[in-house]
Structure formats: structure tokens, C-alpha cells
């Protein structure tokens, strides 16, 4: 999802800085972006560590210039029943999404304010912030916090010319999806989505880039739902509800 954002920015002509927990993964993504003919720089960073974030911003700006757009995508997720969730499991998800989004956004805003220039931030939230999701108390809480943070930061930083928006993403299967990326995993999802298919990651990237572009200069503090209509599928006749702890194939409905 983050790579799709970065590629979309590059397709629009932006120089791109890629931050990843692993420098190898960051460099792998950077090589794909470089093929588009734009300047690119890769750096490793744990978004839970403010010192590492400062160092990553410094290195990126030294390599490709001031950062004027920020895409917060770092996240983690795995299914676990709430009563079985350890503090380490809770923190592994919430600190990356909540602390990481806050720390990176604050670093970005301080630099833009010092430069006297505006900018734009896009956050990767999720469609289940309004409903929750079985076996997903950690991620639902974190993604909801991101959405609330999006609105508040937009309000705080509007006088600085910094716009903040989020995409509440639906199902976008990709290589590292917990739910898988093969036909066997995708087919059941397609059947329950009114659009008749899951999303393509490039579509998520393009919407993210659009929300940061001058075409959307008047838009800030918004959480845009991109789910193929999945949130609209409620009807009187639906499969019987099975409590997550009673599901033989796991709390998400698949192993």
C-alpha cells in the first residue's frame, strides 16, 4: 500500500523518499520508483522512535530536498481474540499506527512551519473504523485513532497551509496481505463487495496522490472511504452471524 502511494507520487513527478523498518525493503521499493525517472532516496526508520524519524527526514532532505508531502502508511495487523491479546501484541499494532502517524506528522509540520511553506499529509486508515472487525481490536482502535487524528491535525495546521486527509481503505489484496493474494483468498471477498471485485493497490495510490495534489487544495480533515461499496452490503438476508471465538477457521473467517 505504501509502495502504491510512492509510485503514484512519482508518476505525478515528485521526488520520493522511502522510509522502511528494513533498509533492504526500502531500497527494493526505491529501485522500482527510480525506474520511473524521478529522484528517490531510501532510508531505514522505526516510526515509533522520534530520534530515528528526525534522522530519516534529515537524510531524505539532504538527498532530494525539502519534504512537502507525507504519506503515513506504516502499520501491522494480525487476527487475535481480544481476551487472548498480550500487551506486546496490542503495542505492536497500536504504537506503529498511532505513535508513528503522530510523530512523523509532527516532524513534518515543524519543518514546514520553519520553512514558511504549506504541504499535505495523507494517512492510510481502514474501512472498519466505523464498525470494528472480528479479532481486530488492536487495529480497529489504531485506525480509528488515525482518522480522529486526521481531523484534529487538519484543524490545527490549516493556518500553516498544511492539509491532512485520510483514505479508509477496504480490501486491497497484495503480496504481504495477511488474508493472502491468491484467487482462493480473493474470490470470497469479491463475492461480498458490490463493485464485484477487490481493490487494486494502484487505485489506492492514485487516490492518495490526488488528495495531496493541487486539485484538492480546498479539501482537508476528511476521511475518504474507498471500499468498492463493501460498507453498503447490509441486507435483511445475510449469512448467520458466528461469534469470532466459535469460528473454526479463525476470527477473521479464514485461517
**For 55-100, what is each residue's pLDDT tens digit?**
999 999 999 999 999 999 998 889 999 999 999 999 999 999 999 9
Q: What is the mean pLDDT of residues 141-154?
A: 97
* 90 alpha-carbon distance from chain centroid: 18
CATH architecture entry for 69-229: 3-Layer(aba) Sandwich (3.40)
Q: Which residues contact 91 (CB under 8 A, 6 or more apart)?
A: none
Report which of residues 110 and 195 the model is more confident about. 110
Domain ranges of the chain: 69-229
> What is d(CA 45, CA 54) in angstroms, rounded to the nearest whole number?
9
With a cut of 60, say whether residue 121 has pLDDT above it.
Answer: yes
Q: Which residue has the higher pLDDT, 189 or 170?
A: 170
Is residue 255 over pLDDT 80? no
Q: What is the pLDDT of residue 95?
A: 97
Compute CA distances 215 → 93, 169, 212, whole Å. 33, 21, 8
pTM for this prediction: 0.91
Amino acid at each position: 500500500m505504501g509502495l502504491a502511494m510512492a509510485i503514484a507520487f512519482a508518476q505525478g513527478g515528485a521526488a520520493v523518499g522511502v522510509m522502511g523498518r528494513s533498509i533492504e525493503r526500502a531500497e527494493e521499493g526505491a529501485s522500482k520508483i527510480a525506474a520511473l525517472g524521478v529522484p528517490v532516496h531510501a532510508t531505514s526508520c522505526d516510526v515509533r522512535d522520534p530520534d530515528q524519524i528526525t534522522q530519516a527526514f534529515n537524510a531524505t532532505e539532504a538527498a532530494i530536498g525539502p519534504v512537502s508531502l507525507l504519506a503515513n502508511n506504516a502499520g501491522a495487523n494480525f487476527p487475535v481474540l481480544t481476551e487472548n491479546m498480550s500487551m506486546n501484541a496490542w503495542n505492536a499494532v497500536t504504537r506503529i499506527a498511532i505513535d508513528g502517524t503522530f510523530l512523523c506528522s509532527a516532524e513534518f509540520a515543524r519543518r514546514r512551519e520553519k520553512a514558511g511553506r504549506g504541504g499535505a499529509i495523507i494517512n492510510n486508515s481502514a474501512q472498519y473504523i466505523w464498525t470494528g472487525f472480528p479479532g481486530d481490536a488492536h487495529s480497529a482502535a489504531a485506525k480509528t485513532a488515525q482518522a480522529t487524528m486526521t481531523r484534529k491535525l487538519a484543524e490545527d495546521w490549516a493556518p500553516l497551509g498544511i492539509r491532512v486527509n485520510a483514505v479508509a481503505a477496504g480490501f486491497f489484496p497484495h503480496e504481504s496481505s495477511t488474508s493472502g493474494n491468491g484467487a482462493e483468498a480473493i474470490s470470497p471477498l469479491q463475492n461480498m463487495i458490490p463493485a464485484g471485485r477487490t481493490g487494486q493497490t494502484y487505485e489506492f495510490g492514485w487516490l492518495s496522490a490526488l488528495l495531496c495534489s493541487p486539485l484538492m487544495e480546498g479539501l482537508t480533515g476528511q476521511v475518504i472511504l474507498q471500499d468498492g461499496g463493501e460498507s453498503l452490503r447490509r441486507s435483511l438476508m445475510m449469512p448467520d452471524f458466528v461469534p469470532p471465538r466459535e469460528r473454526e477457521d479463525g476470527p477473521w473467517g479464514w485461517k
